[in-house]
A and B are shown apart, each in its own frame.
Chain A
Amino acid sequence: MRNLFSSTNLRNLIILLVVAGILILAISGYLTPIFNLSVSPLISAQSWLSQRYLAIRDFFTYPRDMATLRAQNLQLENEVSMLQSKIVELQESLSQAQILYALLDFARANPEHDYLAATVIGREISPYYQYIIIDKGSNDGVLHGMPVVTQQGLVGRVDAVIANAARVQLISDANSVVNVHLQNAKVEAQIRGSITGEITLEMVPQDAEVQIGDVLLTSGLGGNYPPNIFVGQVLSMQSQKNSLFQTGSVQSIVDFSSLSAVLIITNFEAVDISPLVP
């Protein structure tokens, strides 16, 4: 019993009780402010150390990362350029496809003719003549005099042919004359191009009542063009008392300056009536 309360045991018991007391106080939260007070400087010191370390590490590794970033940036820039060029390419393809779909729709809507699609590859060198150059020639069955159209209407006729290309005279050319039929007025007339590309309506009888906006279709007279192809609309009319015929100006729906694809009517042969002309 004396041994039980010896000084050593008593010291151990006191230590145990103190530790247990501290634990109970810690678990119950009474020591938290004291912990915070003691841990905060440690955390601050740790943060400071960590920040200095990161700064020193960045200082030594920064140039290497810069080079990597530059390489990545260059690669991404290349990819962006490539994708941009692909977008342009696809937009071009889409535009071309839309034109071809429109031409296809026209061909389906007018099944009485056989068509050959051609791309416009050039224009006449001299500004005094209205011609285009297409990428289909005699190797594709293109012949002199074949009419050329788009989904919007009459374009012209084949004027010269070589193996893989042909020259097309537009209806706006100064040497071009097309016999037309005024749909509403029920009269025959003709349209003539000019050196500046404007189209005039001629040979309209004085008694014909032509309204602005009247539709012009090819009449088929003369044998140069098949009948009933849309040509344009009447823009204005001039009538002089002393002249035999009325004249007017015509607005073609076809934009000749931006033609990119056309259809050649391959089952139409122009009739040469020049021997019959006195």
Chain B
Amino acid sequence: MPFYLLTIISFVVTLMLQIGIVSSATLLAGAADLVLLFIVAWSLHQDHKNAWFLVLAFGLIVGSISAGPSLIPLMTYLLIFLAAKLMYHQIWRTPLLSMFLLTFFGTLFQNGLHLVGLWVQGVEFPVNQAFTNIMLPSVLLNMLLVIPVHALVQAIFPSELPAGAPL
């Protein structure tokens, strides 16, 4: 029970930070996604049976707040969660490396979905501009935040890391 409570509180704080501060701190037109980073780190630091239910809820909440298609955060977070579980059980001895990998590919995946969503909506946009001005800066900002978020989540959920796992 404290695990779920702590997770929900952490998620709410992360979401508030994202909406209030992080979204305004842009590099070109890209911005970091603190919620995605939190979900990546959190997924790598716990192995609870019903955790997928929380990921589903987080995806729905972010989807309802965001102006973009609601399914994008849901799909991204679930995919990240599944990949994290796979990594947790296969290459769990390097959670930081897993976090870097998941953040990189998760950000690319989410950005790709957004572009597809815009294309479906009939919005015209130059792909190279989207790539250089939004996608790459977003990936860079997320990668820069990997270590702090990883350390913070590890501090909040210390007992969840597998025994013997290094940073």
A167 interface contact, C-beta 8 A? yes
**With the chains together, A169 CA to B73 CA distance in Å?**
20
Question: From DSSP, what is the main secondary structure of chain A's interface residues?
Answer: loop
A107 interface contact, C-beta 8 A? no
Contacts of B94 in A (CB 8 A): none
Instruction: Give which listed residue, B20, B62, B115, contacts A128 with CB less than 8 A.
Output: B115
**With the chains together, A212 CA to B73 CA distance in Å?**
41
Contacts of B29 in A (CB 8 A): 127, 195-197
Indicate whether A175 sits within 8 Å of B19 (C-beta atoms), given known contacts A125-B65, A129-B68.
no
A240 interface contact, C-beta 8 A? no
Chain B min CB distance to A58 (Å): 50
Q: Could you say which of A123, A125, A160, A195 has the most chain B C-beta atoms within 10 Å of its C-beta?
A: A125
Pair B118/A174 contact, Cβ less than 8 Å: yes
**With the chains together, A196 CA to B124 CA distance in Å?**
12
* Segment 106-161 of B: residues with Cβ below 8 Å from A: 111, 114-115, 118, 121, 123, 125, 129-130, 133-134, 138
A25 interface contact, C-beta 8 A? no
Pair B134/A127 contact, Cβ less than 8 Å: yes
Pair B67/A131 contact, Cβ less than 8 Å: yes
Indicate whether A159 sits within 8 Å of B19 (C-beta atoms), given known contacts A125-B62, A175-B121.
no
Instruction: Give which listed residue, A123, A127, A195, contacts B19 with CB less than 8 A.
Output: A123
* Segment 24-51 of B: residues with Cβ below 8 Å from A: 24, 26, 28-31, 33, 35
Pair B24/A257 contact, Cβ less than 8 Å: yes
A83 interface contact, C-beta 8 A? no
Q: Number of A interface residues at 8 Å Cβ cutoff, please give it.
A: 23
A140 interface contact, C-beta 8 A? no
Contacts of B35 in A (CB 8 A): 125
A124 interface contact, C-beta 8 A? yes
Q: Could you say which of B23, B31, B68, B134 has the most chain A C-beta atoms within 10 Å of its C-beta?
A: B23
Pair A125/B33 contact, Cβ less than 8 Å: yes
A222 interface contact, C-beta 8 A? no
Contacts of B66 in A (CB 8 A): 124-126, 129
Pair A127/B123 contact, Cβ less than 8 Å: no
Contacts of A160 in B (CB 8 A): 67
- A residues bordering B, Cβ < 8 Å? 121-129, 131, 133, 159-160, 167, 169, 173-175, 194-197, 257
- B residues bordering A, Cβ < 8 Å? 18-20, 23-24, 26, 28-31, 33, 35, 62, 65-68, 72-73, 111, 114-115, 118, 121, 123, 125, 129-130, 133-134, 138
A sample of 19 more A-B contacts (CB under 8 A), given A124-B23, A126-B68, A195-B118, is A125-B18, A125-B33, A125-B62, A126-B67, A126-B72, A126-B114, A127-B26, A127-B134, A128-B68, A128-B111, A133-B19, A160-B67, A169-B67, A175-B121, A195-B123, A195-B125, A195-B130, A196-B28, A196-B29
A sample of 21 inter-chain contacts (CB < 8 A) reads A121-B19, A122-B23, A124-B23, A124-B66, A125-B19, A125-B65, A125-B73, A126-B68, A127-B26, A127-B29, A128-B118, A128-B130, A128-B134, A129-B66, A131-B67, A159-B67, A195-B123, A195-B130, A196-B28, A196-B129, A197-B29
